[in-house]
A and B are shown apart, each in its own frame.
Chain A
C-alpha cells in the first residue's frame, strides 16, 4: 500500500521541507500520496501535484485547517490514514505537533525523526542528541514516521502532474483557538535551510560585537546562528540558537566563531558539509569537528576575514 505524507504550507505556498519529506517517503514506497489540508490552499495543491515523485494529491479545504491546530488536523489525518500503511511528516514543529496524536488514535508507536530509511519497516534515528544512532524496526501494522528534513535531499519541484482529489473535512472538537503568529522577519536566509551559516558564541563578549558576525553573514548571504551560551548571555535572540535545544542545521558551510563546542552545540551542526572554527583557545572541542581551524583572536580575525572576502570577485549564491 501507499505512503500518506502530510504537506506543510502556509495556505499559499508549500514549505520547502515538505520536498525533503517527499524524498524520504519515496524511499519507503514509490506510491507517495500527499494530503494538503488548509484553507483556500488550491495553489499549494498545484505546487504539490507538479512534484514528479508525488502520485496523488488529496485536498481538504476548510477554515478549520487554516492554522494547522493539531486538535483539528489529527482527526482528518487519522481518518485518511485508513487506506495507507505509512503516515509520514517532517520532524519539525509542524509534524511533531500533530503526528503523535495520530499515532495515539491509531494505537501506533511512532518512529520519530528518522535520518535514513533502511527498509519499509526499519529506520535509523539519532538518540541522545545525535550522540548515538539507533536502528529500529517497527512491528506495528501501520507506521507513523517523522522525518528529519535536513537528512534527505529536496525532491525535484517540477515536471509532474499528479491527480488532485478533493476529500471531505471531518468534525473538529473546538477546544483550541489560534490567536496569532509572529514570524521572525529577516532579510537573511532562514537558519534551517541556509547554504551558509555564520555562528557566534560567548567569545563575542557582547551583543554589539555580533555585528562582526552579521557583517560576514551579509557578505556571504548566510544565516546567523549562535550558541546557547551566547543566547543565554543575551547577545542575540533565541531563534538563532543552533544545538540540541535549538535548531539542527546542515549547511554546506558552517563557520563557528568564539564557540567552544559544547556537546549540546555540536549536536546541532556537526553534520554540516564543511565546518570552520575560529577560536583563540587551540584546545577548544570545536576544533575536533572542524575541517579548517583557525586559532586566532576573533576580534582581529573577523575584520581580516571580511577584507579577504571583499577581495574575492565572486561568491557563490
Chain B
C-alpha cells in the first residue's frame, strides 16, 4: 500500500502572531515557521504504518513557496520515502489546494491520503473533506486511532460527544487529530540522509486546475481586547464580587 501525506508550513504554534497595522494580514517576516502540528501526526502515523509492514511507500507533499521544501525534508527525515513540492507563491484557498492534491493523487495513485485535521493559520478545516469529495472517496476526520485492514480502515474519531468508530473502504482520506500519536523527532543522521531522498518539483500552474481564490480578505484586525480586571485580596472578596458585582452566582 502507498500513502500520500500532505504537510503545510505555518507560523509556529508558540509564536504570538502580530496583525499588520494596515489590516492586510499578519506579520510573517522573520517569524519562526514549522510544520502544521496535526500534519506531524499525519506523517508519524504514515511512517508507523510503513514500519508495521502494511504500507510500502510514504510520499510527502507540500504546496507553497520554495521554503515548503523544508517541511517536506522534515517528513523525509522521520521516514517518508519521497517528496513532492508543488510550487505556488500566492495563498491558495483549501478548494484550490484540494484540486491540486486531486491531480497528484491521480498521478501517484495512493491507497490513502493522510493530512492534519486543520491548519493553525487559516483555521479552515476543509482540505481533507474537499479532496475526499472530489475523488468520490470516503473520509475519516478528527482521527485519533487507525486500524488498517486489507480493503478498509477502521477509525476512531474525536467528536463533540466523545468518540465515534467508523469503517471506511479504501482508498480513503484520513484527517488526523493531535491525539492520534506522539510525533518523533528526527535524528541528525536521518536529517542528513533525508537530503539525499528524491524530491520532485512541480509548478502549481502547470497542473491545469483553476486556482482562482473566491474569498476576498477585506481586512484582518486584532480581536477586541478584554478590559484589564482587578486583583482581589482573598476568597471572601472574590465570592462577594461574583455575587454582587458580576451577578453570576
Which of A's residues lie within 8 Å of B, judged by CB? 69-71, 74, 91-94, 96-105, 107-113, 122, 125-140, 173, 175-184, 192, 196, 220, 238-239, 244-245, 247, 252-253, 263-264, 270, 273-276, 282, 287-296, 301, 304-305, 308-309, 312, 315-316
Contacts and interface: CB of A to CB of B under 8 A. Distances in A.
Contact of A291 (B11, B134, B218, B229): B229
B72 interface: no
B163 A138 contact: no
B16 A109 contact: no
Interface of B: 11, 13-14, 16-17, 19, 26, 37, 93-95, 98, 120-134, 136-139, 141-142, 154, 157-169, 172, 178-179, 213-223, 226-232, 234-236, 238-239, 241-243, 246, 248-249
Contacts of B95: 103-104, 107-110
Most B Cβ at <10 Å: residue of A182, A270, A287: A182
Main secondary structure of the interface of A (DSSP, over half): mixed
A96 B137 CA distance: 17
Contacts of B227: 291
9 contacts: A100-B128, A101-B139, A134-B220, A138-B215, A179-B154, A179-B167, A290-B229, A305-B235, A316-B248
B17 A131 contact: yes
B139 to A, nearest CB: 6
A308 B235 contact: yes
A315 B229 contact: no
Contacts of A129: 120, 123
Contact of A292 (B125, B226, B242): B242
Given A101-B133, A109-B93, A316-B249, A92 B160 contact: yes
Contacts of B142: 93
A288 to B, nearest CB: 7
Main secondary structure of the interface of B (DSSP, over half): mixed
Given A104-B133, A173-B138, A274-B242, 7 more contacts: A71-B138, A127-B122, A128-B26, A128-B123, A129-B120, A134-B219, A181-B161
A112 B126 contact: yes
A238 B131 CA distance: 28
A87 to B, nearest CB: 14
Contacts of A178: 164, 166
A112 B248 CA distance: 32
Given A137-B216, A137-B218, A175-B169, A127 B121 contact: yes
Contacts of A290: 229
Most A Cβ at <10 Å: residue of B123, B131, B218: B123
A181 B159 contact: yes
A184 B223 contact: no
